A and B are shown apart, each in its own frame.
Chain A
């Protein structure tokens, strides 16, 4: 039986807005197994991004608990969380989030270099080759198209061999054809590296390429099914 990599228990997040507070997540519970592939879907404001942020240790819950790779994220300091992200987590963002002053190759090297690893150049270059950018290594983000930038971001996400990859609308800013390429690369790399993938998306078609879909509405899980089930409605 596979290990549970991510365990979310009674997770609640409330934003204090002065006189009125806003609860965006209520008592959310789920578990994700190692090397699995899961999509979180839901309408705007349903709490998808908040949930992703809490799972990745980017934010702290009001109550409840997140266990990632056996670590309870709650008591960890910001520094320990940063170290955990550096060791175990990869990210892919909708707007690519590349560092404009670094070349494609240098952008991919960043996570490993932050860990103090040296000699990562060849690994980064080979990943860029895998995503089809072997002739774009020395290009700066502004010299790359949207699709190419997202492929660099994919390479960066996998370079530190994360246990879990959080992808937030990874094809949201791309045209259909480019999105297709990026999707294929995302899943191929995921399979090859045996990474656990948590995907936040509006795109039902993309969500159906995962093994499991968790549907959120009003901060609660309204459905959690394997992909073969047809009743999932994202919005």
Chain B
């Protein structure tokens, strides 16, 4: 019976159920991609590290460390990495880069991918270098050109295409240059205060118990301030990150499922209303309420399954696009294979969503009275609201959404937050949509022309699809505009940092003897020295008399250990900078009998210390006992050096130190000129230009938002599908009205105008709803999450509005094609 009843409307039902396609596709694509990535990582786990074991330190390895490495044995390779300015002499271009100086056959697993390929093996043979391809592209550098690092000029023999275990996004953040390690001393780049990382990589023969060995050496490593990285740890880290990414993208994809579900509920609701007559007849001829309900449930189930199957197919196709979208974030090579578990999961989620959302409007089928065959005016207005089963089903849907949110989130807080966000977004979209409809009905001037009144009145006609359309289109608009505005706000924030007379160029690693020269160079460009800050590196030796190592052992890994372990770059001065404010205690200007340091509030919290506590610092071998004199807040988002620990004057003046100079250049050209002159005279001095920071953030945000946009695309496509479905399911009623108006003498032009007005306002209201919400969300994100000022950029949102309104009109009118061709006689036919 289900088949016989549905055979004439299966196309329509299938269309309704198609709203689930994109949601299922998103889940299948993401899950399948995740499975492939996990398999790839399992398969190429050693490539992630490039070795069996890596041991890292921030200072050159001493004798004890070398003894330890000797004990470990195996094949070893070394890497010294640090940030430095690179000069490309032919292009006269400079840029801060990440230098990787390597000796030995690193990487042991995987290969550096270069162009030409042989360069990867040859670069260690002479004064030669491999340079990140993005950097070469940026400055128009070719293989065969030179790059100068410090005092040494290297010949570029290859373009660096891929580094095993590192994602391509890393080259956007800090472009890398590989050189042979033996030239590091000659470059003169490693000096006092230089932040250098030293790594030794190991490759062991046979079955070497790396993890057990590392565990047994943990105390010695701690004592030497060394950290060990094993393949298993790297794999676990990566798995965790991968799972988080997968879950996040899964949640974004899930929004498409929910939106599709709402579309299904709305379409099935209309479908049921149109079938009321049939159902009443079935009831008359003996069908039980359960039977009539089962007929339509079966139809919805079969069509839902077909929709989910189509979604799984689309998902497998979309999965092929994911490596291009996420490629820069993925550090391994991946195969493309179908993951059966992902397909089954997608199918199940899709089918359950389709059935659950269809069940709500189907529940009242049980209540349709056979009396309707005799009396058309049997009341059935608010069947859903009065049906306890429908209410139970609604609760099940809510619980299912909550369950899914929790299941797909890494922590229950995120899951609950996502669920709350979902409820708030959909709730607010519905609220704004309903308010607009109410306002139109309440305040629309009765004196307006008939076409306007009719067009607008259609928006709140009984069984209208306005709400679902506003949800579908509004959500798409919300996604696009929120992403854009948030990105704009973040960029504006960075750009603002360098506005007006604020600093936009920081020169660091200036040695004591270089200070006069660098100062003179800056002044020669007629630039002001806005700040000149001495920096002294140090570590925490003890807190209130307890050694730092002891404390590290006591504390869990998550609390405060990084604060105990890290190298502090501190400064000394008599007063606060304009980015600092004392929140507790008093600032000591000059040291007295006791040295009272000022701690930044977050680091004080991490260390678990308060005013009056004792801290002993190891300043390059010399212990300095201090007391916490004050806690201060620091506005970190300023383009100037800020410090966790501030010493009073009169303590560190004679300690080994380097300097930072902060200035403001008038143009990018001036900044580039200064950096070029600087690198020629003082090759070890590095510069960070604000425009470089801006460009880097811009490109990273661009790539991130591209990924989110790609996932949001599934929701936007679902929105369009729901929009088409809603327009088509409302066509029956619209056709009747158009025919009636034609019968009463309306011209085609009048009817077209009514439809145009209806769809224009439908698009407008949807866009306004999405826009209002996205403005609110972007504002909240800016003010609360990013603690910055919301930046309004009206152009793109305006363009989005125009496109969405046009899209709504095009979908609406193209669906109304043919309505005008119906002969008016159908009004009379329906009488019979």
Contacts and interface: CB of A to CB of B under 8 A. Distances in A.
Interface of A: 44, 49, 52-53, 58-59, 78-79, 82-87, 89, 91, 93-95, 97, 99-102, 106, 109-111, 113-115, 142, 145-146, 156, 160, 168-169, 172-173
Interface residues of B, number: 32
Contact of B748 (A49, A78, A91, A93): A78
A114 B450 contact: yes
Given A100-B462, A101-B457, A114 B825 contact: no
B825 A91 contact: no
A83 B747 contact: yes
Given A49-B831, A106-B457, 16 more contacts: A44-B832, A49-B828, A58-B825, A59-B824, A86-B746, A87-B745, A91-B744, A94-B831, A97-B743, A99-B454, A99-B737, A101-B461, A110-B450, A114-B750, A142-B462, A160-B745
B377 A97 contact: no
Contact of B744 (A100, A101, A114, A169): A114
A89 B745 CA distance: 9
A58 B828 contact: yes
Given A101-B458, A101-B461, A168 B831 contact: yes
Given A58-B823, A100-B462, A93 B828 contact: yes
Contacts of A168: 828, 831
Given A49-B829, A93-B827, A169-B831, A82 B454 contact: no
B741 interface: yes
B544 to A, nearest CB: 77
28 contacts: A44-B832, A49-B831, A49-B832, A53-B825, A58-B743, A58-B828, A78-B748, A82-B746, A82-B747, A83-B745, A87-B745, A91-B827, A93-B828, A93-B831, A94-B831, A95-B830, A97-B743, A99-B740, A99-B741, A100-B461, A102-B457, A109-B450, A114-B744, A114-B746, A115-B745, A156-B744, A168-B831, A172-B831
Contact of B745 (A86, A101, A173): A86
B659 interface: no
B455 to A, nearest CB: 10
Interface of B: 376-377, 381, 449-450, 453-454, 457-458, 460-462, 737, 740-748, 750, 823-825, 827-832
Contacts of A160: 745
B830 A111 contact: no
A113 B450 contact: yes
* List of 5 A-B pairs having minimum Cβ-Cβ separation, nearest first: A86-B745, A113-B450, A101-B457, A101-B461, A85-B745
Contacts of B746: 82, 86, 114
The winner among B745, B747, B831 for most chain A CB atoms within 10 A is B745
Given A97-B740, A99-B740, A168-B828, A82 B461 contact: no
Contacts of A85: 743-745
B742 A82 contact: yes
Contact of A114 (B458, B741, B827, B831): B741
A58 to B, nearest CB: 4
A156 B744 CA distance: 10
Contact of A111 (B460, B745, B747, B829): B745
B819 to A, nearest CB: 13
Contacts of B750: 114
